[in-house]
């Protein structure tokens, strides 16, 4: 029977997750150099349009129709065939299936957009559109189905509340593969063009994340409130931890570091939010910033040109969160979950570890192969002249600021 409360909440949660993609565009746009603001922002905004087309055409069907115990679904619900406005989502019978279609679509929109921060000002728009299409079909959709659509990993007992594996591990390690394929920037001295814009984007992401995590319960109940509170606690502890670590190393508390720490905490709590008790959230937040901060430092030391630290923050955040879910999960807060390592369930911990490691490896290898194949059709990397001029003008024929009026 339709629940108006849950339906109203899920409409709000869907809107919040949608807002995260513009938030990501602002976050990345502020971090990019002055000549590449529009180039990075359009890569997020175009996903709002094109991913919706793919999702309605066949994406939702491949993720959530048929294929029980398998790797991918079928085309039975292509173009939303057979779904009517009064049909309830079979997962809980509380909200319209149309609403579930829309909610999951917002996840599909933002996930590939996360990757773009790694190769800012180095990739042609045409190759990105091809990448956006096939990465979803061959990486994102299968993992959605395997974990959230009743596929093989779900049957094996793998849990992922809101996307530590499905969203952050896939995107983070795809980002690392893209860094290796595309290569470093010619001009690595580019500095953020607008830290206030980064702060606006970060605030929108944090705000939207309540819909991302709490909404993943797909109802209004005690688990919804648990996920909401855990999200804020972990993000807050991660924020302060990052500030303290960076203050110790750089001798100055930096706003960009603080904002990065908040995103690390949000990414890391994502798989855990509705499965772990409140007391675990501060531990997860602290671990998030410690691991992600030093992952970024390792990346810098090794010379990997992940421009906006997608791998270090999202990739490693997703991995750490999934592993800690295997540690702290307990059925005492969510009967639909399971007990983790500290409650004696070693098997579940091993399953989470194997699942996230396998996901990271697949996302990395397949992304690298896909970029190689795309490059055979159309060049992936921009020319040196285009890069030095900036993608805003060389690719898109626009400039973010009217410099003559400044």
Q: How far apart are CA 328 and CA 272, in angstroms?
A: 8
Distance of CA 36 to the CA centre of its chain: 22
Q: What is the pLDDT of residue 396?
A: 92
Domain that holds residue 282: 4-397
Quick one: pLDDT band at residue 326, thresholds 50, 70, 90? very high
| Within a domain: 315 | yes
Residue 354: per-residue pLDDT: 98
What CATH number should be reported for the domain holding residue 173?
1.10.3430.10
**Would you state the pLDDT for residue 281?**
98
249-260 tens-digit pLDDT? 989 999 999 999
* Confidence class for position 74, pLDDT limits 50, 70, 90: very high
- Residues above pLDDT 90, as percent of the chain: 90
Relative orientation angle of helices 4-31 and 255-269, to the nearest 10 degrees: 140
pLDDT higher than threshold 60 for residue 405 = no
Answer yes or no: is 204 within a domain: yes
CA–CA separation, 118 vs 101, rounded Å? 29
Query: Is a pLDDT exceeding 80 seen at residue 189?
Result: no
Task: State residue 404's pLDDT score.
Answer: 59
pLDDT at 231 over 80: yes
| Domains contained in the chain, number | 1
pLDDT of residue 406: 46
* Residue 406 resides in a domain: no
Is residue 368 domain-resident? yes
Residue 128: inside a domain, yes or no? yes
403 pLDDT more than 90: no
405 within domain boundaries? no
Q: Name the token pair of 380.
A: 């992936």
Picking from 117, 133, 103, the residue whose alpha carbon sits closest to that of residue 37 is 117
- Tens digits of residue pLDDT in 124-134: 999 999 999 99
Q: How confident is the model at residue 58 (pLDDT cuts 50, 70, 90)?
A: very high
In a domain, 404, yes or no: no
Q: Which residues contact 142 (CB under 8 A, 6 or more apart)?
A: 71, 72, 151
Query: How far, in Å, are 156, 318, 324 from residue 285 at the CA level?
Result: 28, 12, 11
Residue 198 CA from chain centroid, whole number: 17
Is 237 within a domain? yes
């Amino acid at each position: 029977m339709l629940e108006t409360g849950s339906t109203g909440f899920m409409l709000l949660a869907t809107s919040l997750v949608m807002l995260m993609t513009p938030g990501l565009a602002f976050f990345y746009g502020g971090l990019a150099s002055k000549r590449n603001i529009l180039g990075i922002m359009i890569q997020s905004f175009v996903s709002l349009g094109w991913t919706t087309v793919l999702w309605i055409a066949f994406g939702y069907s491949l993720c959530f129709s048929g294929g029980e115990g398998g790797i991918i679904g079928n085309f039975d619900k292509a173009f939303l065939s057979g779904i009517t406005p009064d049909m309830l989502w079979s997962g809980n019978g509380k909200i319209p299936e149309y609403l579930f279609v829309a909610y999951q679509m917002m996840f599909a929109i933002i996930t590939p957009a996360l990757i773009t921060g790694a190769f800012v000002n180095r990739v042609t728009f045409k190759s990105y559109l091809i990448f956006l299409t096939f990465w979803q079909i061959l990486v994102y959709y299968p993992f959605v189905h395997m974990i959230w659509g009743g596929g093989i990993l779900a049957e094996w007992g793998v849990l992922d509340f809101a996307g530590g594996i499905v969203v952050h591990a896939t995107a983070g390690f795809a980002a690392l593969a893209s860094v290796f394929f595309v290569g470093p920037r010619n001009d690595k001295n580019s500095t953020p063009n607008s830290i206030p814009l980064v702060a606006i984007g970060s605030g929108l992401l944090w705000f939207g994340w309540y819909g991302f995590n709490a909404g993943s319960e797909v109802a209004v109940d005690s688990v919804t409130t648990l996920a909401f509170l855990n999200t804020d606690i972990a993000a807050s502890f991660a924020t302060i931890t990052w500030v303290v670590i960076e203050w110790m190393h750089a001798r100055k508390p930096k706003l960009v570091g603080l904002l990065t720490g908040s995103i690390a905490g949000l990414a890391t709590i994502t798989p855990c939010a509705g499965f772990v008790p409140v007391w675990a959230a501060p531990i997860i937040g602290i671990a998030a910033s410690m691991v992600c901060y030093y992952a970024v430092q390792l990346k810098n030391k090794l010379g990997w040109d992940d421009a906006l630290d997608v791998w270090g923050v999202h990739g490693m955040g997703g991995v750490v969160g999934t592993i800690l879910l295997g540690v702290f999960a307990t059925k005492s807060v969510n009967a639909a979950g399971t007990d983790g390592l500290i409650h004696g369930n070693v098997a579940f911990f091993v399953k989470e570890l194997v699942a996230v490691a396998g996901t990271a490896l697949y996302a990395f290898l397949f992304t690298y192969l896909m970029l190689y194949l795309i490059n055979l059709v159309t060049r992936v990397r921009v020319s040196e002249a285009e890069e030095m001029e900036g993608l805003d003008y060389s690719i898109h024929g626009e400039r973010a600021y009217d410099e003559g009026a400044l």
